[in-house]
Amino acid sequence: MFSSHHGSHSNELALEYFDFAYPLIFHRHWPSIRLALLSLPKPIALINPHSLSNKNTQEKLLQQGAVDMLRFDNEKLREDYALIQENISKSDHEFGIKRLLEQKENRRLLGTSDLVNEQQEEIDDGDDDDEDDDVNTFNQPEPVKRLDEIYKQALEQQVQSVIKGNIVPIVDDDKERDYKKMPPSWNVYTFPRSNMSRFASAKIDELGLLDYYCMDGACVLPVIALDVQPYHTVLDLCSAPGGKALNIFHNCPFIQLTCNDSDHSRSKRLTEVFTRTIPKDTLAKSVRLVRGDGCLFGEREPASFDRVLVDVPCTSDRHALATAFNVFSRKRIQERVELPTYQRKLLESAIRACKPGGIVVYSTCTLAPVQNEGVVEQAIENLALRPSNKRYHGGHKGSDPINCEIVSTKSLEKHYAYFFDFHAKTHYGSLVLPHISNNFGPLYFCKIRRIN
């Protein structure tokens, strides 16, 4: 519960808020997630294929004990870790049943055993999904009276968000996809699990280009899900600072890539990243850097892109704990409360900008369901509504209905389970949970196909 005297810095407010909200979702796993969030993140090194020192850099990283994440083929380690995860899942189920039995006994001692009939039925059915049902509704206890008004507003917003979990069709088109086949231009290095080594600062070659670019390891997953092919037109709607856009371009350089961001300083950072990693002639020929309101992109360039990545602004949970001024500042409470609405508008715009049959990948770096699955569900439901003379749910007047389906990313989770800890209780998409042994994330991503 929140303390009666809140911390004065935004990072303290963020931790206080997480300690209240996230145990309701992640239960006994929250302490380990919390520890990882408060620890140094584990980076990856995205090799620059345009650097003259490309091959030498890869050889040095291999000598230091790093592995190519995209081509890791140690099946023994994969199998061992899969067994560990299976045992953890079994333990979670047993813990859930034990907790329900303890609640039943406590209520029996208090003379309220008639209130546990529903729980008894859940135990008899052996349904282990009930432990984390609140991941979908994000229900929270009533705020205590001593809480500041700003926290009451934030909690009310979370309470009102209900994820139905059954209104969007899900297809498993990627179950036969071979994730071992990666283009030679895309190489991502990291250190094995439980190895906390750090990469040295990137060096500049004779052309003035960086030999690699470091970022959070989970950044590669939305790009893998995007499944970009040669000659695709690709949009990165909220592109700055540019890590995912670089992954897209290194993954498939034979594309036309448009990178957009609405913020001037972030757009400047995006330009710097590209000019320090890609030759000027290649950049001019294949990459378009623009600055504009992402919410309006779908109107201005409708049905124009084969692939769209929309990595939306969010509460940025790890960043919020590391900076003294962030979205959890008392001065930015309204901005935080309105984040899911803004995220939904960005996703709707991304889907509108996507060609029929094309793919949109939505991603965030928060654990909050209201910003993840909640946004995906509301956006898809909103776009499917029939057009009317009035604006609906913040949509566009007179818009034709757009139908979408979600492409399951479970096969992707299975292939990369050695490197990432995925949350097992998501209805739509995948959620990477930070873990101290491989401290990536948090990152949520969901693969969406526009049908019409």
pLDDT digits (tens, 9 = 90+) for 347-359: 999 999 999 999 9
Pick 397 or 17 by higher pLDDT.
17
216 is in an annotated binding site: no
Averaged pLDDT score across all residues of the chain: 83
Q: Is the peptide bond before 369 cis (omega within 30 degrees of 0)?
A: no
Reply yes or no on whether the pLDDT at 414 is more than 80: yes
- What's the rounded mean pLDDT across residues 12-16? 90
Strand partners, 427: none
pLDDT confidence of residue 9: 82
- What's the rounded mean pLDDT across residues 412-435? 93
The CA-to-CA distance between both ends of the chain, in Å, stands at 47
CB 331 within 8 A of CB 339: no
Reply yes or no on whether the pLDDT at 84 is more than 70: no
DSSP class of residue 386 equals P
Per-residue pLDDT tens over the stretch 381-413:
999 985 644 444 444 544 689 999 999 999 999
Return the CATH fold of 8-27+159-177+217-388+398-450. Answer: Rossmann fold (3.40.50)
Least confident range of 105-109, 169-173, 290-294, 435-439 = 105-109
Reply yes or no on whether the pLDDT at 259 is more than 50: yes
Of the pLDDT bands very low, low, confident and very high (cuts 50, 70, 90), residue 258 is: very high
Q: Distance between CA atoms of 426 and 133, rounded to whole angstroms?
A: 10
Of the pLDDT bands very low, low, confident and very high (cuts 50, 70, 90), residue 323 is: confident
Q: Percent of the chain having pLDDT more than 90?
A: 61
Per-residue pLDDT tens over the stretch 118-150:
444 444 444 444 444 444 444 444 444 344 555
31 is in an annotated binding site: no
65 is in an annotated binding site: no
> Whose structure tokens read 């009317």?
388
Catalytic residue among 219, 295, 365, 404: 365
Q: Distance between CA atoms of 202 and 229, rounded to whole angstroms?
A: 29
282, containing H or E segment: helix 280-286
292 is in an annotated binding site: no
374 is in an annotated binding site: no
- What's the rounded mean pLDDT across residues 407-434? 94
pLDDT confidence of residue 173: 87
Q: Which of 164, 166, 148 is nearest to 156 (CA)?
A: 148
Q: What is the dihedral of CA 351, 357, 358, 359, to 10 degrees?
A: 80
The answer to whether residue 214 is catalytic is no
Strand partners, 363: 311, 445
- What's the rounded mean pLDDT across residues 291-310? 96
Work out the widest C-alpha separation in the chain, in whole angstroms.
79
The letter for the amino acid at 236 is: D
185 is in an annotated binding site: no
Q: Which of 198, 160, 211 is nearest to 49 (CA)?
A: 211
Ranges of each domain in the chain = 8-27+159-177+217-388+398-450
Reply yes or no on whether the pLDDT at 2 is more than 70: no
357 is in an annotated binding site: no
261 is in an annotated binding site: yes
Residues 6+ positions from 440 with CB-CB distance below 8 Å? 41, 42, 216, 217, 218, 419, 420, 432, 434
Pairing of the two strands 256-260 and 287-290: parallel
Concatenate the DSSP letters of all residues of 109-167 into one string: HTT-GGGGHHHHHHHHHT-GGGGGTHHHH---PPPPTTS-HHHHHHHHHHHH----SSS
Q: How far is residue 296 from each of residues 388, 447, 448, measured CA to CA in Å?
A: 19, 21, 19
Q: Distance between CA atoms of 283 and 307, rounded to whole angstroms?
A: 19
CB atoms within 10 A of CB 84: 11
Pick 437 or 119 by higher pLDDT.
437
222 is in an annotated binding site: no
126's tokens: 């052996």
pLDDT confidence of residue 285: 94
- What's the rounded mean pLDDT across residues 215-237? 96
